[in-house]
Structure 1
Amino acid sequence: MTKNMTFGDGKPCFIIAEAGVNHNGDINIAKKLVDAAFEAGVDAVKFQSFKAENLVTNKAPKADYQKETTGNGNQYEMLKSLELSYEDHIVLKSYCEEKGILFISTPFDFESVDLLEKLNVPLYKISSGDLTNIPLLKYIAKLKRPMIISTGMANLVEIEDAVEVTKKEGNDKISLLHCTSNYPTEYEEVNLNAMTTLKNAFKLPVGYSDHTIGIEVPIAAVAMGAKIIEKHFTLDKEMGGPDHKASLNPEELGRMVLSIRNIEKAFGDGIKKCNKSEEKSKFVSRKSIVAKRFIKSGEIITEEMLDFKRPENGLSPIYLDEILNKVAITEICKDEIINFFNVR
């Protein structure tokens, strides 16, 4: 597998298609999500690994957005129906390898970390909810694999604690994702400038985990320097489940990836120069020094005799001072270029 697995300056943006729990507990839907992610051209498709009994108490309330999308009840009942078994994980990882797309998953408990480690996942994604779960961070950090940590709901002190704990375990392969943990996130709450704050504060690769509607904000994040983008997607926004409505459909995911790759092409090398493609434009757009009227042989050239017109097939106006006060050595017709062959 040759997928991009490095993050940072000079590297392409690592794009994660967040399938999450949008498989609704059905392995066949999960495989279709892998298909859609592959077709969209992302670097990785990410699921979520958990045991409901290890993640929430049996009376944990749902978030407001979960109530809106899945009705009443508690988190435990909802999450129990969305679990993937160990066998499902094996099938999905194998299927991703067949397709040529990277399989990753977010573990929410120790048992799920062990499961993913058995599968030899290449990196660990830490959810915003576990940023302050120091025991889990330590447990994962000891595995010495790259860690992508989301920072929704967190302040700089909490993020600093998470980074320090991870580094103390001997793992400095850390990337941070700015995130707003609301589904969907309103544009006014995105605060993309906080991504720059994270980069300046921690000197680590920084990206953005997006929960807004549409594709504009992740594209803007890449333009601002995001090295990782994570975005939820679904096969159908009308499916039952907590995250479908705040997700992209496959066509939107493909457009987001294409837009990001186009933005990356547009970055260029930073050297300000005339591109090869501009040479023809340069000829027809720039101007030459020409005669404003008929000039007799022997006349002294003054500025009133001159004009500046397209195309650039003579002397540039840059050389005006070198032409002034010279003597015309031939007759020069109106609009004829002035150069060092007809003045001296």
Structure 2
Amino acid sequence: MTFAPLTRTLGDRPVGPGHPVYVTGEIGINHNGDLAGALALIDAAADAGCDAVKFQKRTPEVCTPRDQWDVERDTPWGRMTYIDYRHRVEFGEDEYRAVDEHCAKRGIAWFASPWDTESVAFLEKFDVPAHKVASASLTDDELLRTLRATGRTVILSTGMSTPKQIRHAVEVLGSDNILLCHATSTYPARAAELNLKVIHTLRAEYPNVPIGYSGHETGLQTTLAAVALGACFVERHITLDRAMWGSDQAASVEPGGLQRLVRDIRVVEESLGDGVKKVYESELGPMRKLRRVPGVVAEADANAEGPQSGDREPVAV
């Protein structure tokens, strides 16, 4: 199958303009290290009609600054050092095998944001449809080069990044197999700082790259607005309960909201149409009933393709 230059593939799914919006439920570490919770979140995403769920994968000793290892903090599992906490919420191969099997059973894809090169090697043990670069990792050239070498589609979030940093990351990754996501990396993000028009800015700057949206706001309206502005990929954090312990829970969508979000994304994308103004057959009856003056173009011509060049002079209205 041959796809247009603006199309990327995530597994067996084409993603880009003209294709259904690819909706991802970002589980991240909202499972709090509990496999049963992760499987329940997968179920919630599948029930809502999401195309995929996403996790985060870290090697704690690599991703945690050494001076933070022994800092103690209170957690739901008691007081522990930060490095022990990072291990407590990190899934290993057994858990991801269970995730992989459960996603296959539910007919939903999964992938992850690796935060280090060891995590890339770990995820390559699975047939994930893509890799995601978290906004915090956009400046990690070594990670970007490792991800490019996998040959998989790379989804790049652009939060907390300057235009020059984004341009450099695109140059490192190459533009042929990436998808860019506009994002604001505040949890939760205020509406005044979402700046959704950057979706158009990125499209103009990278005309051969599909543009998506990774949202960290509360509420659903702004994500729907991102779709209306042309986002072909949408990611939102999901949770079973926003009151659960964890830094990302408050900026996440609960199962009921996720169902409404996916439903409304499908309505919005259907309503966008193709941009070609036409008279629909369903309008002919109201036209005959309500239009008293036929106008310059006769009713019989209303469904035609439109005048050919030079057929008639433009009509001022």
TM-score over 0.5 for the pair: yes
Of 161, 173, 186, which residue of structure 2 is paired with 1:154? 161
1:105 is aligned to: 112
Matches within 5 A, 1:1-344: 5-60=13-68, 76-167=83-174, 172-203=176-207, 204-287=209-292, 316=294
CA drift at 1:60: 3.9
Q: Which has the higher Rg, Structure 1 or Structure 2? A: 1
What amino acid does structure 2 have at the position aligned with 1:196?
H
SS in 2 for 1:15: strand
In structure 2, the CA distance between the partners of 1:205 and 1:253, relative to structure 1 (3 Å rule), is same
SS in 2 for 1:266: helix
Contact 1:237-1:248 at 8 Å conserved across structures: yes
Structure 2 distance, partners of 1:70, 1:56, is: 19
Which structure has more RCO (C-alpha within 8 Å, separation ≥ 6)? 2
CA offsets, 1:83-105, max 9 Å, x none? Answer: 01111011101110111001111
* Unaligned residue ranges in structure 2 (runs of 5+): 1-9, 298-317
2:312 is aligned to: none
CA offsets, 1:43-71, max 9 Å, x none? Answer: 1111111122121124449xxxx99x999
Structure 1 distance, partners of 2:12, 2:254, is: 23
In structure 2, the CA distance between the partners of 1:249 and 1:185, relative to structure 1 (3 Å rule), is same
SS in 1 for 2:56: strand
Contact 1:58-1:74 at 8 Å conserved across structures: no
Structure 1 distance, partners of 2:272, 2:295, is: 32
Structure 2 distance, partners of 1:96, 1:56, is: 29
In structure 2, the CA distance between the partners of 1:163 and 1:88, relative to structure 1 (3 Å rule), is same
In structure 2, the CA distance between the partners of 1:275 and 1:60, relative to structure 1 (3 Å rule), is farther
In structure 2, the CA distance between the partners of 1:251 and 1:52, relative to structure 1 (3 Å rule), is same
Tell me the percent identity.
Answer: 37
Contact 1:59-1:75 at 8 Å conserved across structures: no
What amino acid does structure 1 have at the position aligned with 2:142?
P
SS in 1 for 2:14: coil
Contact 2:11-2:130 at 8 Å conserved across structures: no
Structure 2 distance, partners of 1:152, 1:74, is: 29
Farther-moved stretch of structure 1 (257-266 vs 2-11): 2-11
CA drift at 1:129: 0.7
Q: Provide the aligned length of Structure 1 versus Structure 2.
A: 284
Query: In angstroms, what is the RMSD of aligned CA positions?
Result: 2.6
CA drift at 1:317: 6.4
CA drift at 1:112: 1.3
Contact 1:4-1:43 at 8 Å conserved across structures: no
In structure 2, the CA distance between the partners of 1:186 and 1:77, relative to structure 1 (3 Å rule), is farther
CA offsets, 1:4-54, max 9 Å, x none? Answer: 622222111111110111111000100000000001101111111112212
SS in 1 for 2:105: helix
* Unaligned residue ranges in structure 1 (runs of 5+): 289-315, 320-344
SS in 2 for 1:277: helix
Farther-moved stretch of structure 1 (184-193 vs 276-285): 276-285
TM-score, with normalisation over the residues of structure 2?
0.83
CA offsets, 1:195-236, max 9 Å, x none? Answer: 211111122111111011011111000100011111001011
Contact 1:22-1:244 at 8 Å conserved across structures: yes
CA offsets, 1:92-124, max 9 Å, x none? Answer: 011101110011111111221111101121110
Divergent runs of 4+, >6 A: 69-74
In structure 2, the CA distance between the partners of 1:244 and 1:124, relative to structure 1 (3 Å rule), is same
SS in 1 for 2:13: coil
Structure 2 distance, partners of 1:70, 1:60, is: 19
